[in-house]
Amino acid sequence: MRPAARGWRGIDTDDEDGLVAMYPPCTDADGDGFACDDCDDADPTVRPGAVEACNGQDDDCDGAVDETATTTASFGSSAQLSATRTAMSWLTLFDVDHDTALLSFRQSLDLPASEWVSFAVVDTTADTARVEVAIVPAGTGPVQSPFLGVPLVAGHRYAIGVGVAG
């Protein structure tokens, strides 16, 4: 048996036919320093070893989507929701009376040092906005909710009403 021949990309070809498979070299189209292993070469934030964000895509090219999407949510008044940290995972913002708009949304998944989600809403009709935030606890164990005063269990959804129409 002959030693394996190596192609441009280091592909072993030892099928005994005397031919070497030649693959064109990979290019780094997005300039993130990764070429062949980059799963989205049009986006420099998507690359092997990147921090996984809560965005529905595989940011770190490991084949899993949002596997480290553990965040803490910030809640406040219906006019400007911010600043109160919890041990929850962000799911979604529901506009109950259809006149509340999401102004901003930011998140950080720099685990384990920093976990946060903050957002702001505005009520376009000047009534007290009826906004519900659905959350689930991070991890697998129960988490005590500072809002509901009960333990929250992973895999279950809990709604928090922020503001009451009046």
pLDDT tens digit at each of 166 positions of the chain: 444 444 344 455 556 665 655 666 788 889 888 888 888 989 998 888 887 665 667 888 888 776 544 333 433 333 323 323 332 333 344 444 455 544 444 444 333 333 344 444 444 554 444 444 444 434 444 444 444 444 545 444 444 333 322 2
Q: Within 13 A of 46's CA, how many CA atoms are on the CB side? A: 20
**pLDDT value, residue 19:** 61
Amino acid of residue 59: D
**pLDDT value, residue 103:** 46
**pLDDT value, residue 59:** 81
Q: Considering 26, 43, 68, which residue would you say is the last residue of a domain?
A: 68
Amino acid of residue 9: R
**pLDDT value, residue 50:** 81
**pLDDT value, residue 60:** 83
Same domain? 157 vs 83: yes
The domain of 53 spans: 1-68
Q: Considering 37, 52, 68, which residue would you say is the last residue of a domain?
A: 68
Nearest alpha carbon to residue 21 among 39, 4, 38: 4
CB 74 within 8 Å of CB 119: yes
Q: Considering 38, 53, 68, which residue would you say is the last residue of a domain?
A: 68
Q: Give the C-alpha separation, 166 to 161, whole Å.
A: 14
Same domain? 86 vs 156: yes
**pLDDT value, residue 18:** 59
Give me the number of domains the chain comprises.
2
Same domain? 79 vs 150: yes
Same domain? 106 vs 149: yes
**pLDDT value, residue 126:** 47
